[in-house]
Amino acid sequence: MKKILSIGVTVCILSFLALAANSQNCVACFTATPDSNNSFNINVDATCSNASAGANYTWYVDGNLYTSFPFPYFQIPLVSPGTYSILMVLDDNGCSDTTSQSITITNVCNANFTAYPIGAGGYYFYPFGNPSPTATYAWDYGDGTTGNQPNVNHTYINSGTYNVCCIVSDTAFGGCADTSCQSITVNVNQTCLANFNHYVDPFGFLYCDASSSIYNPSNFNMTWYLNGVQVQQAAITYYNTVLSNIGNYSIKMVLSDANLNPCDSMTQTFFYNGGIINNPSCYPCFNYTYNTNLDSVILNASCSIVPPNGTIEWNINGNVFPDPGVPFLQGFTSPGTQSVAILVKDSNNNYCDSMFQFVYTYNPPCTSCLTVTQAPASTSDYIFDGSCSNNATSYAWFVDNNYVFTSSTPQFTYSFTQSGTYNICLQSVDANNNPCTQSCTTIVVNTPATSLYDIAGKIYNVDNSFTYSPVGANEAKVYLIKLITGGTLDAIDSTLTDSQGMYTFNNKPIDDYRIKVALNTSSPNYAFNIPTYYNSSIMWYDAQVVTLFGNTYTRDIYMTFGINNGGNGFISGNVFQGANKPTRAAEDITLILIDQTTQTPVAYTKPSANGNYSFGNIPNGTYRVYGELLNRASIPDNIVINAAQNSYTNKNFVYNDNVIQPTAGSLSIKNVEMEKGISIAPNPAQGSFKLYNTREDRFIQIMDMTGRRIQEFDLKAGQNKEIDCQGWNAGIYFIQENLNGMKSVQKLQVN
């Protein structure tokens, strides 16, 4: 059963009860049962009601409006044990009836846990079956030692087989207890360990992640087999595909060195049931993965099906905000059980479906801490010191997001060659090689030293068999991009690849750069390889920044590959500038077609000289079309290709100085380029800035270049608001104002 959540407010229900007294033809009826996977989730089913297909069902929990929905079934997540009153009001074309019942949720303990190998002799254990915040834990590691934390790291001294047990108990709501045990094999001399997790979404998208394996990162290869057939062989820690048939599957990964000498393997089996889609035109779906430190998660709603011109809305621990359109990192103020839900709205801004689940986050195993001080009698040497870090044994240093050094001692002396403001970060790890929280600081360097350096690398394209090979002479054009005066990104240089696929930019000053590559039309793989930013990003705001500050920097780029399996779908349109100005050069703009099911590119194209573009031979599916243009935020157009409609024309895009986005059919240029009502000062900003609203009330959202939402609030007419940006990273931010559905975007530079 699909999991539904809609957050409401307390309302008076007497008017509904009075209306129910006049009911003549409809009869309200429902069942409420705990879900078999989690008894805190209540499956409510009102199909026993006497109602037509167009009826609406309004639900209340303890007198509070929970949701109003045109479907008779969904799932109510209850946070804690207790007795709850559930009331349902049936509204069927003017006929109304109501019914209610009580349900009691008792506490249930579940001691199931996961064991991950994390190094020679090391294991990471965490329970996943009990969300109660009052539960206590007792661990028996099988080697004579014990623990009492929910999630623990343990290092075994001797190799062997150990029986690990977790005991969970909870005294609240009558009390409960449960014990779960697993047998693990430990090798304290392990240097090669194959390990991966797999995930299958309701559409058959299989994703396997082997990043938890133990291997030499500079000398490894992973060969994947699906049902005994080799499907991928590369120095890549993940594999994904789309399953086409219902049935049993076996996925195997063989870990080897770069010469394909195997050292370990792992096999997992699973059954794919073909997926369940109750409402094909409106299907909420999201998945999450833990980031490195386990105290936050990466959320991704790309598997959802959204009606044309519909939207996705997130509700995380009661905080509601729109979906940014890309996977995003969500942090939490404290570890424990987190409530995460998405709600899908149709083009009329009505909820059509939603999904809910609990996410449990953990305390990071250790913390990084640093100080940076100028070395005595030097203007360029600085001492980086991580001695204040907690439980750290190895220290990796970064300057402006570029790795510079790793050591087992906390102190490191670094020499700057140019004056400027620098962001210094420390990423430490503990004795089990688990990453700690990252710590950063900013310093201002004044040194007379100046130097020029080179940036070089090799460009690799990929063919339909996922074989990477270097491009040939003049096959690809490479752009060097930097932030120029005025706070915008621009290509300051470009070059063609040589016969070995190499590119070189000589004698460049110390600065922050982005690198982009695009195949020329003469390349045999031009149709498949999407223009790509370093490192493997197709959008400029996802591009990794390369900070040049010494020697020759080598930055290889593996181009992103688009898979188009062929079909009878067709999309076309025009790309034009606001106020009907001429389009930019065709090479500046890229149209990218993304399969929402797999969240992978299918194809790309560039507009012609008069702005026309088209995608052909598209299989049935749900897609997003993005326009990619430097310095612009990108808003996609959602398109469904199926038997009912496989051809779309006039899917136009418009761009101005801040955004490239669909014109939404009848949406006029005037609407797209809404007259700005706010002004920003100062811009660039340092420490703080003010927003001044000179016109009507409007809703303000502030986002960074990744689409992450920094702040959102209402700004009244004539009101001004001061924003503290002291802790923000230097770079470009977008200020979006919304007035009655019309939007305008401005850029803000923070120094």
Which DSSP string corresponds to 473-493? TTSEEEEEEEEETTTEEEEEE
Distance CA 218, CA 170 (A): 47
Residues 574 and 656 in one domain: yes
What is the predicted pLDDT for the residue at 372? 93
Mean pLDDT of 726-731: 78
With tokens 């700057």, the residue in question is 416
- Banded pLDDT at 21 (limits 50, 70, 90): very low
Domain termination residue (choose one: 72, 105, 138): 105
Q: Give the pair of three-digit tokens for residue 380.
A: 């360029």
Residues 665 and 685 in one domain: no
Residues 241 and 158 in one domain: no
In a domain, 228, yes or no: yes
With tokens 């008069």, the residue in question is 610
Mean pLDDT of 207-214: 81
Burial of 632 (0-12, 13-18, 19+ CB in 10 A): buried
Residues 456 and 557 in one domain: yes
| Backbone phi and psi for residue 351, each to the nearest 5 degrees, phi listed first | -65, 130
Four-CA torsion 452, 453, 455, 456, nearest 10 degrees: 130
Mean pLDDT of 354-358: 74
The answer to whether the beta carbons of residues 635 and 596 sit under 8 Å apart is no
DSSP state of 740: T
CB neighbourhood size of 407 (10 A): 13
Cis before 535? omega within 30: yes
Distance CA 25, CA 97 (A): 9
What is the predicted pLDDT for the residue at 9? 30
Question: 257 pLDDT exceeds 80?
Answer: yes
In a domain, 247, yes or no: yes
Q: Give the pair of three-digit tokens for residue 464.
A: 């339909």
Residue 350 neighbours by CB under 8 Å, 6+ apart: none
What is the predicted pLDDT for the residue at 515? 93
**16 or 170: whose pLDDT is higher?**
170
Q: Highest-confidence range of 41-50, 77-86, 282-291, by mean pLDDT?
A: 41-50
Residue 153 neighbours by CB under 8 Å, 6+ apart: 118, 122, 123, 124, 125, 365, 430, 432, 434
Beta bridge partners of 425: 398, 440
298-299-304 Cα angle (round to 5): 150
CATH number for the domain spanning 730: value is 2.60.40.3080
In a domain, 437, yes or no: yes
Distance CA 411, CA 384 (A): 6
Residue 111 neighbours by CB under 8 Å, 6+ apart: 127, 129, 130, 166, 167, 168, 178, 179, 180
Cis before 34? omega within 30: no
In a domain, 192, yes or no: no
Distance CA 235, CA 219 (A): 8
* Mean pLDDT over the full length of the chain: 79
Mean pLDDT of 527-539: 87
In a domain, 278, yes or no: no
pTM over 0.75: no
Distance CA 39, CA 215 (A): 40
What is the predicted pLDDT for the residue at 516? 94
What is the predicted pLDDT for the residue at 293? 55
Q: Give the pair of three-digit tokens for residue 749.
A: 């530079």
What is the predicted pLDDT for the residue at 544? 81
What is the predicted pLDDT for the residue at 433? 65
Handedness of CA 327, 314, 81, 335 (dihedral sign): positive
Residues 460 and 440 in one domain: no
| Backbone phi and psi for residue 569, each to the nearest 5 degrees, phi listed first | -80, 155
Residues 44 and 24 in one domain: yes
Residues 437 and 458 in one domain: no
Question: 581 pLDDT exceeds 60?
Answer: no
Residues 726 and 744 in one domain: yes
Residues 664 and 573 in one domain: yes
In a domain, 3, yes or no: no
**398 or 291: whose pLDDT is higher?**
398
DSSP state of 674: P
319-342, pLDDT tens digit by residue?
A: 888 898 878 878 777 666 777 888
456-482, pLDDT tens digit by residue?
A: 889 998 877 778 889 999 999 999 998
Mean pLDDT of 608-622: 88
What is the predicted pLDDT for the residue at 130? 56
CA distances from 605 to 444, 496, 591, 592, 634 (A): 44, 21, 5, 7, 16
Distance CA 58, CA 65 (A): 8
Residue 640 neighbours by CB under 8 Å, 6+ apart: 281, 305, 308, 621, 622, 623
DSSP state of 670: H
Residues 394 and 296 in one domain: no
Residue 376 neighbours by CB under 8 Å, 6+ apart: none
- Banded pLDDT at 674 (limits 50, 70, 90): very low
CA distances from 497 to 116, 473, 514, 563 (A): 44, 5, 17, 25
The answer to whether the beta carbons of residues 124 and 151 sit under 8 Å apart is yes
CA distances from 647 to 615, 616, 618, 636, 644 (A): 10, 9, 10, 18, 9
What is the predicted pLDDT for the residue at 2? 33
At 387, is the secondary structure helix, strand, or coil?
coil
Distance CA 326, CA 523 (A): 30
Domain termination residue (choose one: 56, 75, 105): 105
Q: What is the share, in percent, of the chain residues with pLDDT greater than 70?
A: 84
397-427, pLDDT tens digit by residue?
A: 888 877 777 788 888 888 787 788 888 988 8
The answer to whether the beta carbons of residues 30 and 55 sit under 8 Å apart is no
What is the predicted pLDDT for the residue at 513? 87
- Banded pLDDT at 142 (limits 50, 70, 90): very high
What is the predicted pLDDT for the residue at 672? 37
Cis before 308? omega within 30: no
CA distances from 284 to 311, 314, 401, 596, 637 (A): 11, 11, 35, 12, 18
- Banded pLDDT at 162 (limits 50, 70, 90): very high
* Amino acid (one-letter) located at 196: F
What is the predicted pLDDT for the residue at 232? 92
Question: 194 pLDDT exceeds 60?
Answer: yes
Four-CA torsion 611, 612, 613, 616, nearest 10 degrees: -170
What is the predicted pLDDT for the residue at 16? 40
Distance CA 409, CA 387 (A): 8
Containing structural domain, residue 660:
569-672
- Banded pLDDT at 277 (limits 50, 70, 90): very low
**154 or 67: whose pLDDT is higher?**
154
Nearest-Å Rg of the Cα atoms of the chain is 28
DSSP string of 685-735? BSSEEEEEE-SS-EEEEEEETT--EEEEEEE-TT-EEEEE-TTSPSEEEEE
How many residues does the structure list for the chain?
751
> How many Cα neighbours within 13 Å face the side chain of 149?
12
Question: 99 pLDDT exceeds 90?
Answer: yes
359-409, pLDDT tens digit by residue?
A: 767 666 677 889 999 988 788 888 999 988 887 888 888 888 777 777 888
Mean pLDDT of 244-252: 83
Distance CA 358, CA 336 (A): 10
In a domain, 322, yes or no: yes
Cα 243 → chain centroid: 22
Q: Which helix (H) or strand (E) holds 671?
A: helix 669-672
CATH number for the domain spanning 256: value is 2.60.40.10
Helix-, strand-, coil-residue percentages of the chain, each rounded to 5: 5, 55, 45
- Banded pLDDT at 667 (limits 50, 70, 90): very low
What is the predicted pLDDT for the residue at 210? 85
CA distances from 462 to 83, 466, 478, 532, 615 (A): 59, 6, 17, 12, 21
CA distances from 366 to 362, 370, 385 (A): 12, 14, 17
**236 or 277: whose pLDDT is higher?**
236
Handedness of CA 636, 637, 638, 640 (dihedral sign): negative
What is the predicted pLDDT for the residue at 230? 93
The answer to whether the beta carbons of residues 133 and 173 sit under 8 Å apart is no
**96 or 432: whose pLDDT is higher?**
96
Residues 649 and 628 in one domain: yes
Mean pLDDT of 201-206: 72
**Kind of pairing, strands 296-300 and 287-290?**
antiparallel
Residues 217 and 244 in one domain: yes
In a domain, 252, yes or no: yes
Expressed in angstroms, the distance from the first to the final Cα of the chain is: 49
DSSP state of 33: E
* Total domains, the chain: 8
Domain termination residue (choose one: 561, 596, 621): 561
**321 or 667: whose pLDDT is higher?**
321
The answer to whether the beta carbons of residues 553 and 454 sit under 8 Å apart is yes
